[in-house]
Amino acid sequence: MTSAKVVIVTGASSGFGALVVEKLLSQGYIVYAAARRVERMAALEELGAKLLRMDVTCDDDVEQGVRRVIEAEGSIYGLVNNAGYGGFGMLENVSLAEAQRQFQVNVFGLMRITKAVLPYMRAAGEGRIVNVASVVGKVALPVSGWYSASKHAVEALSDSLRQEVKRFGIRVSIVEPGPVQTEFLDHAMDVVDSVDHDQVYVKQVAGFKRAFLLSYAHADGPERTANAIVAGIASVRPKIRYAVSGAKPIFALAGVMPTVVVDYLVNKAMGQK
């Protein structure tokens, strides 16, 4: 067993997850990098990460992964719930099967591994959980309905969990990124294009894609978001929320503007009346 603190990072094969693994390793943490495709994490393994093949929607994967960590290390100090994906499309046209898949990964997958590690954190009397949400978890946009709903659920679950486990020395933080240049963009566009949209929505979807691509053209890289995630693990007094990469001004404006004005500005940005 080791005295170094042990952290599991899900969705570690790319983007925020991979960068967070690197940063935690550099600070002396023992890091288990979890993802469905371990072959994409060879570089992380070379840096010292321990790899877990894990699909967060699979009970066996999660149970076996957590058991492996406990058997090897004896404890789990931190969990970064980064696994997730964005599926976009008009609500009328996105299949319920696709919507359910988003919730299985973004919401139930997050809670599956959280439930698995909590008993060990409680036993240790300390722990850190960082859940990655999104700016659209608070400010929903057209074409992002199901993704926004899943991230809104992450916000609510995190708020409830934070209050439930604080007395056990466990701190729960939410990271709320705005647009960030990662593989997320390419995948999101692929999903939008895969949806069979009704003709009446084609112009609106095209406007969304233009606005989406423009926002990402001027977006941050993953560094700020990764730093916020690491702060949620490493800080003695972590923040409840870390709004990063353009999210803070969006929240500020949406908080003071009437909803009808927000709707108008969003529709204007998408080329709609």
Would you state the pLDDT for residue 44? 97
Domain-embedded: residue 1: no
Q: To the nearest whole number, what is the mean pLDDT of the chain? A: 90
Give me the active site residues, please.
147
pLDDT > 70: percent of the chain = 92
Domain-embedded: residue 220: yes
Mean pLDDT of 85-101: 91
Q: Do 225 and 180 touch, CB atoms closer than 8 A? A: yes
Q: Do 38 and 21 touch, CB atoms closer than 8 A? A: no
Mean pLDDT of 106-110: 98
pLDDT single digits (tens) 136-184? 888 888 888 999 999 999 999 999 999 999 999 999 999 999 878 766 6
CATH number at residue 84: 3.40.50.720
* pTM beyond cutoff 0.85: yes
Our count of domains for the chain comes to 1
How far apart, in whole angstroms, are the C-alpha atoms of residue 56 and residue 109?
Answer: 5
Residue owning tokens 């916020």? 228
pLDDT at 186 over 70: no
How far apart, in whole angstroms, are the C-alpha atoms of residue 25 and residue 21?
Answer: 6
Q: Do 155 and 137 touch, CB atoms closer than 8 A? A: yes
pLDDT at 51 over 90: yes
> In a 10 Å sphere around its CB, with 0-12 CB exposed, 13-18 middle and 19+ buried, how is residue 57 labelled?
middle
pLDDT at 217 over 80: no
Would you state the pLDDT for residue 273? 62
Would you state the pLDDT for residue 148? 95
Structural domain boundaries enclosing 32: 6-270
Dihedral sign from CA coordinates of 217, 218, 223, 224: negative
Would you state the pLDDT for residue 191? 67
pLDDT at 187 over 80: no
Q: How open is the CA angle 62-66-69, to the nearest 5 degrees?
A: 145
Partners of 79 in the β-ladder: 8, 129
Radius of gyration of the chain (CA): 19
Mean pLDDT of 115-125: 99
Domain-embedded: residue 245: yes
Mean pLDDT of 101-123: 98
